[in-house]
DNA sequence: TTCAATGCAAAAGTTTTGCACCTCT
DNA sequence: AGAGGTGCAAAACTTTTGCATTGAA
């Protein structure tokens, strides 16, 4: 009946209202929220949730492979319920983080293993630039 | 005469003993140190240096393009005096960070721009895995 | 001389931890 | 009933900031 509860149970995690809320939120957003973003988003509907629980839960999820933790260099972690390896694009103006796909990842990973001698387990490919909206805003700014 | 002093001056930065020490250290290490690593490494020879100065200096260096700041997900920033875009390999066991090169970066960056519509300015490509030494150590561990 | 850099201490921000209580299984 | 999860407060860590002093140009 409850798909998300089954997913948690399948990973050996107890099903709690907090975990359901956090995972459901992450599953249905594309915003790559931080722990605090998640906490604030869930406050209205889950008034007793605590930030510490959000952190602990995200760590549990990460260690069983239900979410991916990103370090885009903003001093905090951002979370993504899409766990398949994929690159991210970060807007240096509005801080948006968006997903995209690339067929080059496998090749790059092989090259990395070959050139370094490491066993490569995963990767984090992050691109930085201006999103279309911010580019337009800044070019209008230039025209003033 | 002093190549590094000239480099700083060329970027419009005042030349101070602290800046010379920090940049020289970064230039001649391959270890991708954190601010605190740098502070500790310079303490013996520069007993009055402060951690705040290290942070401020690294930020100055970064903003004029003398160093690159990395976020490999260990909760702090690591610094690299090689500013050309290149991927990094991180050992999840001993935390070593090593550089390597790839000709695929330009292609990947083009693909990123095309697929997302962003103006891409830079990227950070980080691979995680086991270095040869740690792999050997862990396989010996397995054999016990 | 002037303006920027330094160093100290305090503050800010994120994440972790200890512990008592609660609740899934 | 028992193992594990939650929530609170405190602590730990990294980084930033304010400000008086120092030092480079």
- pLDDT tens per residue across span A69-120: 999 999 999 999 999 999 999 999 999 999 999 999 999 999 999 999 999 9
Mean pLDDT for the stretch of residues B52-59: 98
Mean pLDDT for the stretch of residues B74-100: 97
Mean pLDDT for the stretch of residues A124-130: 98
- Residue B53 pLDDT greater than 90, yes or no: yes
Enumerate the residues of chain B whose CB falls inside 8 A of the CB of residue A123. Answer: 125-128
DSSP B98: E
Mean pLDDT for the stretch of residues B89-108: 97
- pLDDT value of position B2: 81
- pLDDT tens per residue across span B8-19: 999 999 999 999
CA distance B104 to B120: 15
CA distance A50 to A64: 22
Q: Which of B32, B92, B95, B116 would best serve as a mutation to test chain A binding (most A beta carbons within 10 A)?
A: B116
- pLDDT value of position B142: 60
Answer yes or no: are the C-beta atoms of A45 and A97 closer than 8 Å. no
pTM for this entry: 0.93
- Residue B120 pLDDT greater than 60, yes or no: yes
At A5, list the tokens. Answer: 């509860």
Put simply, the answer to whether B130 touches A121 (Cβ < 8 Å) is yes
Any idea which of A22-36, A51-65, A129-143 has the lowest mean pLDDT? A129-143
Q: What does A58-88 look like in DSSP terms, one character per residue?
A: HHHHHHTTSSEEE--SSSS-EEES--S---E
- Strand C proximal to B26 Cβ, under 7 A: no
Enumerate the residues of chain B whose CB falls inside 8 A of the CB of residue A122. Answer: 127-129
């Amino acid at each position: 009946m409850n798909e998300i509860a089954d997913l948690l149970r399948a990973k050996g995690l107890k099903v709690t209202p907090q975990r359901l809320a956090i995972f459901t939120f992450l599953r249905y957003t594309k915003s790559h929220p931080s722990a605090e973003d998640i906490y604030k988003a869930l406050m209205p509907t889950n008034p007793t949730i605590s930030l510490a629980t959000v952190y602990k839960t995200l760590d549990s999820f990460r260690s069983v492979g239900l979410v991916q933790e990103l370090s885009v260099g903003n001093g905090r972690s951002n979370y993504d319920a899409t766990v398949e390896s994929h690159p991210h694009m970060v807007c240096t103006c509005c801080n948006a983080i968006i997903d995209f796909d690339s067929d080059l990842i496998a090749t790059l990973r092989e090259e990395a293993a070959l050139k370094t001698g490491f066993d490569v387990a995963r990767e984090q490919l992050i691109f930085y630039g201006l999103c279309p909206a911010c580019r337009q805003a800044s070019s209008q700014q230039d025209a003033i």
